[in-house]
Structure 1
Amino acid sequence: MSATNQIEERAAKYTAAGAKKLTRKPTEVLLHGRRGDTRLSIIRYTQEGFELSDVRDMLSTSALYMEHDLIQRITGKSIRTVQRLVKETKPVRLNQQQSTVAFQYAQTLERATSVFGNQQLAEDWLKKPCKYLDGHVPLELIDNSLGFQVVEDYLSRIEYGVYQ
């Protein structure tokens, strides 16, 4: 097999893997194949702490999430520190609070995508100030547990057509 054919074959595999990655829901990426069907199981997983690499993979499912460097908001660390931690030989786990915030971002993106019909519309909504949220940007509220609940409640209102 020629070198050109090998490169094309690798590129095809990489593209196929990338397409597969993008079709996974953010919470599926974060849970890394584990069942997340109950709130208690999610609590258990966040207590264990998600691996930093899984959080980065989850964030990479969204152009919006990558643009806003949410890894800093989730971990409370600089980009440089996160890059250094990723290079560690042992997997780096987030603490319970960081894992909870990461899950909130994953769940909100999924919910908004479901409500608005596609991820692009969901991301557009997440980055714009919202009158119902007193002019706040939904994306900026998600890392706070009360803000997350307000955003989720508003998404429910939109879904059921009961909004201002």
Structure 2
Amino acid sequence: MMVSEARRSSSIESDFRPTAYLIDPQAMPLSSLALYRLVRDGFALAKVRAMVASSPLYSATSVLDRILGYSGRRGQRQEKQGHRVLLNARQSATAFQYAQALERATVVFGNQRLAEHWLGRPCKFLAGDVPLDIIENWWGFQSVEDYLQKIELGIYH
């Protein structure tokens, strides 16, 4: 199926916004400075957990652990003790990159299922790396974003 056909086939799913789990949709679009401040202050672990849970791929591949840099169970224990757990700036930036990548891929491929399929497979343009595996690093995330833009523009390698 061509990308444009996939996009037309599911306009409802293309409205899927993983970033809305982290940031109030009413506040979007945000300036870079406003986004910086939100990331600096840290996203609530509960919001990040909800974003990850919205994706079967992210849930199955322990993206929460990748974002936190440790098992998500540690934060769960803190939440159970009544603490509001906030991620640090690095963790929040990583969480936002995962949300943005899934959101962008969903728009480009037309639905979340196709987006997750692409994110979870080796990509020749990314030197055979799996997009999901390189998103947590800013340069890897930028490479994924660049390639998604090329796909959207019809430039395939």
Normalising by structure 1, report the TM-score. 0.82
Report the Cα offset of residue 105 of structure 1: 0.4
Amino acid at match of 1:138: P
Q: Secondary structure at the match of 1:94?
A: coil
RMSD of aligned C-alpha atoms? Answer: 1.4
Report the Cα offset of residue 158 of structure 1: 0.3
User: How many angstroms apart in 2 are the aligned matches of 1:33 and 1:91?
Assistant: 21
More relative contact order, 1 or 2 (CA 8 Å, 6+ apart) = 2
Gaps of at least 5 residues in structure 1 are 1-22
Paired residue for 1:147? 140
Query: Quick one: percent identity of the two aligned structures?
Result: 49
Is the contact between residue 16 and residue 106 of structure 2 (CA under 8 Å) also seen in structure 1?
no
User: How many angstroms apart in 2 are the aligned matches of 1:33 and 1:118?
Assistant: 19
Paired residue for 1:161? 154
Higher Cα radius of gyration: 1
User: How many angstroms apart in 1 are the aligned matches of 2:80 and 2:18?
Assistant: 23
Paired residue for 1:109? 102
User: How many angstroms apart in 1 are the aligned matches of 2:59 and 2:107?
Assistant: 20
Is the contact between residue 35 and residue 41 of structure 1 (CA under 8 Å) also seen in structure 2?
no
Amino acid at match of 1:124: H
Paired residue for 2:6? none
Report the Cα offset of residue 32 of structure 1: 3.9
Report the Cα offset of residue 33 of structure 1: 4.6
Paired residue for 2:12? none
User: How many angstroms apart in 2 are the aligned matches of 1:54 and 1:34?
Assistant: 16
Is the contact between residue 134 and residue 141 of structure 2 (CA under 8 Å) also seen in structure 1?
yes
Gaps of at least 5 residues in structure 2 are 1-14
1:27 and 2:13 aligned:
no
Report the Cα offset of residue 39 of structure 1: 2.0
Paired residue for 2:50? 57
1:67 and 2:60 aligned:
yes
> Compared with structure 1, are the counterparts of its residues 87 and 32 closer, same or farther at alpha carbon in structure 2 (3 Å cutoff)?
farther
Q: Deviations over 1:97-123 (max 9, x none)?
A: 000000000000000000000000000
Report the Cα offset of residue 87 of structure 1: 1.5
Is the contact between residue 32 and residue 54 of structure 1 (CA under 8 Å) also seen in structure 2?
no
Normalising by structure 2, report the TM-score. 0.85
Report the Cα offset of residue 60 of structure 1: 1.0
1:135 and 2:94 aligned:
no
Paired residue for 1:9? none
Report the Cα offset of residue 85 of structure 1: 2.6
Query: Aligned pair count?
Result: 142
Paired residue for 1:45? 38
1:118 and 2:135 aligned:
no
